[in-house]
Amino acid sequence: MSVISPPTGRLEAGPATRRRTPVLAVAARTGRRLGASGTVAAALLAVLVLVAAFAPVIAPFDPTAPDLANALTGPGATHWLGTDALGRDTLSRLIVGSRITLVGPILVIAVSTAAGTALALLAAYAGGRVDMVVSRVLDVLFAVPGIVFALVTVAIAGPGLPGVVIGLSIAYTPYVARVVRSAALRERALPYIDAAWVTGRSGLSICLRHLLPNLAPMIMAQAVSALGLAVVDIAAISFLGLGVQPPATDWGLMVKSGIDTALRGYPTEALAAAVLIAAFVAAITVVSDRLTEQAGELR
């Protein structure tokens, strides 16, 4: 008598799939998570970081050395992207300018994310009066748009990157804090936090060992998305002449100086710097969208 056989055991993962090197495996996993557009964007960001790291080695010319004999030339064999009014090589200036373009926003995000997360955890965990005071202070900070806040600190500290970074760091903190606080409140209501509490853990230990790790993907996604805003804001302030001061440069400042050369018939500098900023921010946006989707699925 034949009986329908039960379903055979699941296909087991063959050993071959495990033999990849760890680096490749991690890359493959990240690639799957990010999808096609996300992978391209992440690769773009990686290239940018490498360029910034090795900028002095890569740059074909000294970005600050004037060469008046070759001032204002279009793209050519020697100067691939031409030169500016002082004869400085545009490509080299873009390469070296990538450093400040990258470091400024990362500083802002690091500071505001750390401060915002700390404030949020404090408010969410302590609750009551502490939460109320923190929330009110954040409300007032919310009333000042980020770039306006940065302009105020620049007015105080004088034009330059430090004033911009300080101002934006403060201005971004309430945004981080508000998002993290509401997520932390939701997380805190989950039973496992009560369980940890009952087993006699201290408040600090619960925050650091339980709340923080579980909120990490969300905080990460939030930080990457804010990074895009920081790039835009810092570049804009540099463009206004209130950020990075010459002879140092970043892409925002190069768009500004590029307008003058464009008016004299050589738009390469302005165009290249503008396109680079847009591509940089677009790559961040795409990666942040994927991360946000991921963080949403995790919850």
Partner 1 sequence: MNPWLKFVSKRLAGLVVVFFAASFLVFSLLYLAPGSPISFLLGNRSGTPEQIAAIRAQYHLDDPFLTRYAAWLGGILHGDLGQSIVYRQDVAALIGARIPTTAALVGYASVIILIVGVAIGLLAALRPGWVDATLRGGMTVALSTPPFVVGVLLILVFALSLGWFPVFGAGRGFADTVWHLTLPALALAGGGAAFLGRITRAATRGELARDHVETARARGLGESRVITRHVVRNALIPVVTVAGLTVASLVAGAVVVESVFAVDGLGSLLVRAILQRDFVVVQALVLLLVVTFIVINTIVDVIYLLVDPRIKA
Partner 2 sequence: MNDHLVDVKGLCIDAPVGRLVDDVSFHIDSGEALGVVGESGSGKSLTARALIALTADGLRVSGSVRVAGHDVPGLRGRALRQFRGRSVGMIFQDPRAHINPVRSIGDFLVEPLVLERRQRPDAARRRVLAILDEVGVSDGARRLRQYPHELSGGLLQRVMIASVLAAEPALILADEPTTALDVTSQADVMAILTEQRRERGLALLFITHDLELAAATCDRTAVMYAGRLVETADSTGLQERPGHPYTSGLMVSRPSIDLRATRLPVVPGRPVAAFEAGPGCAFAPRCPHAQTACERERPEARESGGTMVACHRAAELAGSLPTTIEEVSVHG
Q: By CB under 8 A, name the binding residues for partner 1.
A: 139-140, 143-148, 151-156, 158-159, 228, 232, 235-236, 239-242, 252, 255, 258-259, 262-263, 267, 270-271, 274, 277-279, 281-282, 284-286
In terms of CB distance, is 6 or 200 closer to partner 2?
6
DSSP per-residue codes, the chain:
---PPPPPPPPPPPGGGG-S-HHHHHHHHHHHHHHHHHHHHHHHHHHHHHHHHTHHHH-SS-TT---GGG-S--S-SSSTT-B-TT--BHHHHHHHHHHHHHHHHHHHHHHHHHHHHHHHHHHHHH-HHHHHHHHHHHHHHHTS-HHHHHHHHHHHH-SSHHHHHHHHHHHHHHHHHHHHHHHHHHHHTSHHHHHHHHTT--HHHHIIIIIHHHHHHHHHHHHHHHHHHHHHHHHHHHHTTSSS-TTS--HHHHHHHHHHHHHTT-THHHHHHHHHHHHHHHHHHHHHHHHHHHHHHH-
Q: How far is the CB of 80 from partner 1 (least distance, A)?
A: 20
Q: How far is the CB of 85 from partner 1 (least distance, A)?
A: 17
Q: How far is the CB of 241 from partner 1 (least distance, A)?
A: 7
In terms of CB distance, is 2 or 21 closer to partner 2?
2
Q: Which does 64 bind (CB under 5 to 8 A by kind): partner 1, partner 2, none?
A: none
Q: Which does 143 bind (CB under 5 to 8 A by kind): partner 1, partner 2, none?
A: partner 1
Q: How far is the CB of 41 from partner 1 (least distance, A)?
A: 10
In terms of CB distance, is 2 or 8 closer to partner 2?
2
Q: How far is the CB of 228 from partner 1 (least distance, A)?
A: 7
Contact letters for partner 2, residues 3-42 (x by CB under 8 A)? xx--------------------------------------
Q: How far is the CB of 154 from partner 1 (least distance, A)?
A: 6
Contact 125, 203 (CB under 8 A): yes
In terms of CB distance, is 3 or 23 closer to partner 2?
3
Query: Interface residues with partner 2 (CB under 8 A)?
Result: 1-4
